[in-house]
Amino acid sequence: MHPKLEVRGVTKTFGSGAGSVTALAGVDLEVAPGEFVSVIGPSGCGKSTLFNILAGLDSPSTGQVLLDGAPCAADDLLGRIGYMPQRDLLMPWRTVLDNTILGLEIRGVSRREARLEALRLFPEFGLEGFERRWPSEISGGMRQRAALLRTFLAGRDVILLDEPFGALDSLSRAGMQQWLLQIWETHRKTILFVTHDIDEALFLSDRVYVMSHRPGAIVDPVSVDIPRPRDYEVTTSVEHVERKERLLELLRPTREVLEA
């Protein structure tokens, strides 16, 4: 069987000549159908750049992106991959409910039907009672859940999540991680997740890819074979600590660059 999503030798250089910036220097990764895979790497290593390419917003300088085994140009990818960018990007002029139905509306579902469909998921996403609020009136965690619901409702099999919990404090973060796993287990999407939090990556993922400091390149993935459903307690287990050490080891060259 094909991987759901595959990245082969993707590089990305912005600009040309003396002022050019190489953001990605050879990224290879694959995600199986229904798998939860994370990419971790230091700030500025090109994670968002990679996601923009996968979502079809940008083209790689070299290399290929394959969806269901078929090579896809940027235009083919647009509209086929669910993407939740680093900022929640809720539209201030739409209520929370109407923000979540954006993808359905674009697909041509009538507003009425779209709202009904969204409302069914509101309790699960912890948004019940806030349907008619403006995004500016709800908390950061709720905004993230609303943005995630918007991504889910767009109905794509593959979902890219770019540091969805980056702006949250560690307590709400832990809660949101457990909640995300539940959501993923009930809806069975293929998820590629970006973070720079090692614990978060290990707790959530089947496999974790490490990206080196800029220009970003992918090192081999670390598998996380903790049985599911997982409990947050696994983050204190011996295996967890061992894996964490391996990841830190993989990130080490990065640190030297930072300290140099």
Ligand X SMILES: Nc1ncnc2c1ncn2[C@@H]1O[C@H](COP(=O)(O)OP(=O)(O)OP(=O)(O)O)[C@@H](O)[C@H]1O
Residue 133: CB minimum distance to ligand X, A: 28
Q: Which is nearer to ligand X, 104 or 211 (CB)?
A: 211
Q: Is 178 in the site for ligand X (CB under 6 A)?
A: no
Which residues have CB under 8 Å from 41's CB, separation 6+?
47, 196, 210, 211, 212, 213, 216, 251, 254
For residue 91, state whether it binds other proteins (rule: CB under 8 A).
yes
By beta-carbon proximity to Mg ion, the closer residue of 214 and 240 is 214
In the complex with other proteins, the residue whose CB is nearer, 83 or 240, is 83
CB of 48 to ligand X, least distance (A): 3
* Residue 143 or 213 with smaller CB distance to other proteins: 143
Among 46-54, 103-111, 200-208, 250-258, which window interacts with ligand X (CB under 6 A)? Answer: 46-54
Handedness of CA 131, 133, 135, 141 (dihedral sign): negative
Determine, following the binding rule CB under 8 A, whether residue 73 of this chain makes contact with other proteins.
Answer: no
**Among Mg ion, ligand X, other proteins, none, partner that 13 touches (CB below 5 to 8 angstroms by kind):** none
Q: Does 44 bind other proteins (CB under 8 A)?
A: no
Cα separation, 255 vs 226, in Å, equals 28
**Which residue in 139, 182, 223, 237 binds other proteins (CB under 8 A)?**
139
Tell me the closest approach of the beta carbon of residue 129 to ligand X, in angstroms. 32
**In this structure, what token pair is assigned to residue 255?**
């640190």
The 10 Å CB-count burial string (b at 16+, else e) for 187-224 is: eebbbbbbbbbbbbbbbbbbbbbbbbbbbbbbeebbeb
Q: Which of 2, 9, 21, 116 is in the footprint of ligand X by CB under 6 A?
A: 21
- Residues in touch with Mg ion (CB under 5 A): 47-48
Which tokens belong to 192?
A: 């590629």
Residues β-bridged to residue 36: 191
Site string for other proteins, 170-199 (x = CB under 8 A): --x---------------------------
First to last CA, the chain: 44
Contact between 107 and other proteins by CB under 8 A: the answer reads yes
Residue 214 found at the interface with ligand X (CB under 6 A): yes
Contact footprint for ligand X (CB under 6 A)? 14, 21, 23, 41, 43-49, 86, 196, 214
Contact footprint for other proteins (CB under 8 A)? 52, 55-57, 78-83, 85, 87-89, 91-94, 102-103, 106-107, 134-136, 139-144, 154, 167-169, 172
